[in-house]
Structure 1
Amino acid sequence: MIVNGTPIRFRTKSRIELTAHARFLFGKQIMPPDQADSPARRIYFALQTAYIGTDTERPCGMAAARTFIAAFQRATTSALAREILDRALAAAEADDCYTALKLVRRIIRHEDAVLGQQRPAPTPPRPATVSPDRHP
């Protein structure tokens, strides 16, 4: 099967192996627009757009991510959160949005803890689902 120009080999019922680089998210990794309702979640959604959006949407997603990250960094008192966001932005600008999204999930958990919310952040894939040497 080929998806988005990428050959996919089904190894088991629930495991696939990507044989070429692909931009993909699945399941709980994907944040619907209506869930981008907090500063950290807006950062995630912008980076998600920069990662899996269309050719037209991706630059807009990066621009929005830069804006949201700068605003979050000005507002937070957490030096660690600022450092994680610096790393996330650097990863995204190096076209490693997958890593950037993983880092921003940490910021979402931090934000939820600070605000006393108990909502799940988008989740990374389970190790058995995607081979670590084949992640995007």
Structure 2
Amino acid sequence: MALKVELKPKERIIIGQVVIRNDEQRTRFFIEGDAPILREKDILTAASADTPAKKIYLAIQLMYLAQDPTHEHETYFQLVREFINAAPSALPHVHEINNRILSDDLYKALKAARKLIAYEAELIENAKRV
């Protein structure tokens, strides 16, 4: 079964190793086959990875899009160690991400990393109040 994708004007999508940018009008197309796909709203650039949790998300994103995700494992685990040392309360979120990575479900690992980013934002907000 094909995946139906609708792109807004000027919206980008990554399919495999290729970035596709839509033209001026809304477009619908169908993707058949197996390739990693990320819509623009889910893409994080190196420049926008400005917090530790976002850097973890970026490492997972690179794993998801890579032909060999193991190249990013060392970076990912170093970032996670540093994050847990700074915020041990984030361990349940990291466990969820790790379980997704170990079960080779990198797309769901990305979704779990979004929760980690939200949790990090809560921690920062709480720290500002104190």
Compared CA separation, residues 53 and 115, structure 1 to 2 (3 A)? same
Q: Any conservation in 2 of the 1:36–1:45 contact (CA below 8 Å)?
A: yes
Count, aligned residues: 103
Superposition CA RMSD, Å: 2.2
Shift in Å at residue 19 of structure 1? Answer: 3.4
- For residue 69 of structure 1, what is the amino acid of its counterpart? V
Q: How does 1:36-115 map to 2 (within 5 A)?
A: 36-55=49-68, 58-78=69-89, 81-115=90-124
- Give the TM-score normalised by structure 2: 0.68
Normalised by the length of structure 1, the TM-score is: 0.65
Structure 2 residue runs of 5 or longer lacking an equivalent are 1-14, 17-25, 126-130
Give the structure with higher Rg (CA). 2
* Residue from 16, 20, 25 that aligns with 2:38: 25
Determine what percentage of the aligned residue pairs are the same residue: 27
Q: In the superposition, relative to structure 1, how do residues 70 and 77 fare at CA in structure 2: closer, same or farther (>3 Å)?
A: closer
Cα shift at 1:96: 0.9
**Structure that is richer in strand per residue:** 2
- Runs of 4 or more above 3 Å deviation: 13-19
Shift of 1:28: 1.2
